[in-house]
Amino acid sequence: MDKGQLFGGKKGKDASSEPPAANAKELMEELEQLEKDINELRSQYELFFMGVERVEPKPARDLIRSSLRRFKETPNLSTVVKFKFQMLQARIISLEVYWGRVTRQKEEGTFKRDVEKAKRRQAEISAEEAKKASKQKGAETVQQKGVKPEGEILAGGQLKQPPSQIETAKVAGPAAQGGVARPVAARAEDLSEPALKQLYQTYVTAKRRCGEQVDLRYEEMAASLKKQVPKLIQSTGAKSVEFKVVIKAGHAVLKAVPKT
Q: The domain containing residue 28 runs over which residues?
A: 21-108
Structural domain contains residue 241: yes
Specify whether 251 is located in the same domain as 171. Answer: yes
What pLDDT, in 10s, does the model give residues 178-213?
Answer: 445 678 888 888 888 888 889 899 989 988 888 888
**Distance between CA atoms of residues 244 and 188, nearest Å:** 16
**Spatial distance between the Cα atoms of 45 and 29, rounded to a whole number of angstroms:** 25
Rounded to whole angstroms, the Cα distance separating 154 from 239 reads: 48
The radius of gyration of the chain's CA atoms, rounded to the nearest angstrom, is 29
32 belongs to a structural domain: yes
Which residue, of 91, 108, 125, is where some domain finishes?
108
Whole-prediction pTM? 0.39
Do residues 97 and 173 both lie within one domain? no
Q: What is the pLDDT of residues 145-165, one digit of tens each?
A: 443 443 333 333 333 433 333
- Residue 105 CA to its chain's centroid (Å): 18
What is the domain count for the chain? 2
Judged against a pLDDT cut of 80, whether residue 5 lies above it is answered with no
Whether 155 is covered by a domain: the verdict is no
